[in-house]
Structure 1
Amino acid sequence: MSSYQPGILAKPVPLQARHLFFALESVDALPAALKELTQLADGKKTVVGFGESLVHAMGSQVEGLRVFPALSGVGVDNPSTQHALWCWLHGEDRGELLHRSRALEAALAPALRLVQMTEAFRYKTGHDLTGYEDGTENPVDEAATGAAFVNNDIPGLQGGSFAAIQQWQHDLDGFAAMPQVEQDHIMGRRKSDNEELEEAPKSAHVKRTAQESFTPEAFVVRRSMPWSDGQQAGLVFLAFGHSLDAFEAQLRRMSGLDDGIVDALYRFSRPLTGGYYWCPPLKDDCLDLSALRV
């Protein structure tokens, strides 16, 4: 029986994580590399997602998978930095994650080349570096499963999931200089107790992304984590869905493409990357790559 990669919904948010992004270098070497990947990625501590270019390189197609769109609004740019393969490693020891990522890089060569690595970590109990709790409106239990995973009778696709990833860079100094009430109105919640603010402006992030306010409703499961590199820091936004439509609807509204109102989040943060990936299901505790003819 097929099942989803359990690391997608694993709780709590991991202490440490690494996001690895690979470019396709050799189509001829790709089948052997994917077989190696099934031996190293368990779907638990290593979650795997494929970009559209890799799926096409295998002569296959996954319905609903597409390239991340470069969306621009007034003062807003959401870049597309699509890659062929994404691996999300999580654990508790940064050294162990380093060695695991090195093993993956070696096993996937020469078919795939590591082109970006972003380390992430848990802040407090799952907060953004601004101090606000992240993922408050996440669906839970059966609702989370329904939101995150494909439910059909197609072998190799049932239990799969679509991931949307953006690395956001925050202006933490600029945000810290704002009065507390202004910060709360950007987020649409009070930092002190995480309560949603009815009086927040329409540009508040919570109001821009209220999942039940879309038609159809746009529920996703968010597994975002902070990142930092020297003086730069922000959030690796990560959302899983049974399709990419819900995330894309939220991003369009955030960018002001629906009604001209831009999400206030862009006042102090901007996305540096953007990618869409298909996360295959598991079969007999291994990645089920039958949709890729592996």
Structure 2
Amino acid sequence: MATNNTAKDQLANRKNGASTPANGNNQVNTIQAYLKKMGPEFERALPKHMDADRLGRIALTTIRQNPKLLECSIPSLMGAVMQAAQLGLEPGLIGHCYLVPFWNGKMKQTDVQFIIGYKGMIDLARRSGHIESIYAHTVHENDEFEYELGLHPKLVHKPATGERGEMTFVYAVAHFKDGGYQFEVFSANDVEKVKSRSKAGANGPWKTDYEEMAKKTVIRRMFKYLPISVEVQQQASQDETVRKDVTEEAQSIHDQDYIDMQVPASEEDNNQEKEKAANNELEQAAMELDD
């Protein structure tokens, strides 16, 4: 009878998801321990204005807010946090950078992709010391918008005061301390082409913060025209990369020789089938014991 009750209890727990919080809490504790252990390494990588304890707390909050990150390999997760530390960017809601889980088809595990956000790109650009201001805006179908290229470039944008409609363009402008300026304009179609090439285009910030990612995309494209150092250019190149661990160099997720970002179409189905099979086994065991 005790065995019968155990089978029924396990089945009920599976259906109600009762085991998830305990497992999740265990993984959070494990990750928290790793973040604490890596504290001195983060401290050495961080710029002077940032603190390793704060970075650890922010990273842990970000991980708790996205349960999928709890399923990721810890080395790649720590590697992504290290990238944030080295660039002096804070992951999470402020939009400096994002930690995005993805299926690593070659390693057959879930790893973490590091994505620089809109505010992170602006922060990197400002570090050059040559930029007075830099910003980006989205243009919508009911806005007044006009731009010209050539010998006398021109850009005019008057946002609509009411319903602005769908996004049609996004642009970025940088004003230099010597009085010059640079701007870049993308159409909505241009943005979609970039999104379609991103292996994280179907999830992460492209799904939750589309306009912010559109702004980041046009700023990143403008980087090659800005008076910024090679070091900052190299930092920006860490966008959309992944590390095997904290000691490895960041690898582009677009490098198909390194990684396959495509989640197998059957992966979710396989997981559901495994769960269904496990539930069927428990149901059969309970029925047999009842008989």
Q: Same fold judged by TM-score > 0.5? A: no
Determine which structure has the larger strand proportion and give its number: 1
TM-score, reference length from structure 1:
0.24
TM-score, reference length from structure 2:
0.24
Determine which structure has the larger helix proportion and give its number: 2
